[in-house]
Structure formats: C-alpha cells, structure tokens
Amino acid sequence: MDSSPRQSLLWSDEFADHTSGKLDPATWNMDLGDGAAAGLVGWGNNEREFYTSDSIVVKDSLIIHAIHQGTNSPIETYYGPAEWTSGKIHTAKKVGFKFGRIEVRAKMPSGQGTWPAIWLLGASLNEGVSWPECGEIDIFEGTGAHPSQVQGTIHGPGYFGNDGLTKLIQAANPLSDEFHTFAISWHEDSIEWFFDGVSYNKITRADSELQGKAWPFNAEFYLIINLAIGGWFAGEVDPNLRAAQLEIEWIKYYSENGIGELFLH
C-alpha cells in the first residue's frame, strides 16, 4: 500500500513559461548591493559579491550569473572596488508559505568560492522580529569547495550560524553536472529534507538538540535564492575563476494531505 502523502499543487514558477524574459514582479523582489544599505555589510558573512539586477536572466530557466569584475570595477563596496557581481531574489511581502512541500529543480555553479543557496526566512522578520528568532530553513546550501555536497539546515534561537542543526550527504557526481531536485516536507513540529526524491534528514521539535529551545517554524516563511561569492561559509575564491551560474528550472509548492497554506500579498 502506498503511504506517500497526497499532494496538491498550490503554486509554481516554471521559468520556461516567462515569455517576457523577466521575473514576475508580483512574485519576486531583488536584493541589491553589498548589504551595507540593509545594515548587513557583506550580507553578514564577509561575502565579496555586489548584487545587481543585470545578474538575473530568465530564458527557458532562471539563471543567476556571477561575474568577476577585475581590478578596475567602478562599483564600490565595503572592501573597495567590487570583485564580483551576482544576484539575489526573494518573495518577501509577495508570496509566503506555511507547511507543505517545496521542491526546486536546480543546477549548481562550479568553482571554488561559489556559495549557492535556496532558503526560507520567517515572514516575521519584516514585522520587527530579528534573526535567528524569526527562523531560517535552508532547503539547500552548498559551496564550490565541496562540489558534490548536499546540505540542509535550520537556524533558530540558540542554534544558528555554525551551531545550526544540519546534515550533509555526498551526491555521486558534482551538482554542477546536471539538474537535481532539492525539497523539504514541512509540517507542524517537523521538517524533512529530500535530494532527488530520497529523504536524507528529518528534524523534529522533540529532538534532543531542541529540548528547551524555541521552534519558530510553525508560521509563514518566504523564499530566497541567491549566489554568493566568498564569505565565511564558502572560503577563499579561486583567483582564476571568472564566472559562475546558478540555474533554476522550476519551483513547485504542494500541500500534503491537505496541509499547506499559500499567502499571496
């Protein structure tokens, strides 16, 4: 007997359908700059990229291009002329999610120093709740230094940064070789991670690591996709690297057994 949950598609963004060649402005925002304007210099992680709108291209898929700018870049950052441009998009105050299953079909960049991420932040961040109290769910996070590594993590009060609750596995080949599906099944008091349909981690509120700690994940969250360069997680950037790209084929959001709520603002 099939015990798989009954799924119903609530929302999707299939980028091949974007005949305009642009992101849907009703769904997506862009973060720009080096984080200084947002009070997060280096986006809080000593990152080297400067986010621009020109780094986002939609053509059969969503492509975030990271481009090396050389030594004479006219773009000024917190550390001097920008070494890299790249892109970051998110759905804050436009599209939100609570529980259900989120799947993202993506091909990762290659190159030492690349830092692609597909993640969720608590919508309460936009209502004055700080991080990590708002909660963070990393559907996928990876680095060019570990090209076959798949990692999913949660961050909350008392377990954030290097102390986030996480698990990593190794794929058979570099994640830049082909598209893979990264997913979470998210329910009240539990989150489970999947790679190409296979579960590799599950964290529940009852887990021993969370005893006595807050669980801020039973609320609305919004989606973020970005390609960072350098920073504490990615490490040193290959001095010979000149370009990298993160490619997203589609994003799908399902309810599972009737559980899952979409917010359209």
Which helix (H) or strand (E) segment holds residue 214: the answer is none
Please choose, from the candidates 78, 46, 47, 44, the residue with its C-alpha nearest in 3D space to the C-alpha of residue 160. 44
Per DSSP, 238 falls in state P
Q: How many CA atoms lie within 13 A of 113 on its CB side?
A: 21
Q: What's phi and psi for 242, nearest 5 deg? A: -120, -20
> Two tokens at 61?
């898929």
Strands 56-58 and 62-68: antiparallel
Q: Does residue 3 register a pLDDT over 90?
A: no
Mean pLDDT of 25-46: 96
In a domain, 257, yes or no: yes
Give per-residue pLDDT as tens, 81-125. Answer: 999 999 999 999 999 999 999 999 999 999 999 999 999 999 999
> Two tokens at 101?
């299953």
pLDDT band for 2, please (50, 70, 90 cuts): low
> Two tokens at 198?
């296979």
Q: Give CA torsion, residues 254, 255, 256, 259, to 10 deg.
A: 160
Q: Are 119 and 152 in contact (CB under 8 A)?
A: no
Q: Are 185 and 191 in contact (CB under 8 A)?
A: yes
Strands 49-51 and 84-86: parallel
Report pTM: 0.97
Q: Are 91 and 73 in contact (CB under 8 A)?
A: no
In a domain, 83, yes or no: no
- pLDDT of the residue at 47: 98
In a domain, 95, yes or no: yes
Q: What domain range is 252 assigned to? A: 8-14+89-264
Which helix (H) or strand (E) segment holds residue 219: the answer is none
The total of structural domains in the chain comes to: 1
In a domain, 101, yes or no: yes
- pLDDT of the residue at 250: 98
Q: Does residue 186 register a pLDDT over 90?
A: yes
Q: Are 164 and 201 in contact (CB under 8 A)?
A: no
- pLDDT of the residue at 20: 79
Give per-residue pLDDT as tens, 230-255. Answer: 999 999 999 999 999 999 999 999 99
Give per-residue pLDDT as tens, 156-169. Answer: 999 999 999 999 99
Looking up residue 203, the CATH number of its domain turns out to be 2.60.120.200
Catalytically active residues, by annotation = 136, 141
Q: Give CA torsion, residues 22, 24, 29, 31, to 10 deg.
A: -10
In a domain, 42, yes or no: no
- pLDDT of the residue at 1: 58
Give per-residue pLDDT as tens, 188-233. Answer: 999 999 999 999 999 999 998 999 999 999 999 999 999 999 999 9
In a domain, 53, yes or no: no
In a domain, 114, yes or no: yes
> Two tokens at 21?
């060649």
Q: Give CA torsion, residues 54, 59, 61, 62, to 10 deg.
A: 10
In a domain, 36, yes or no: no
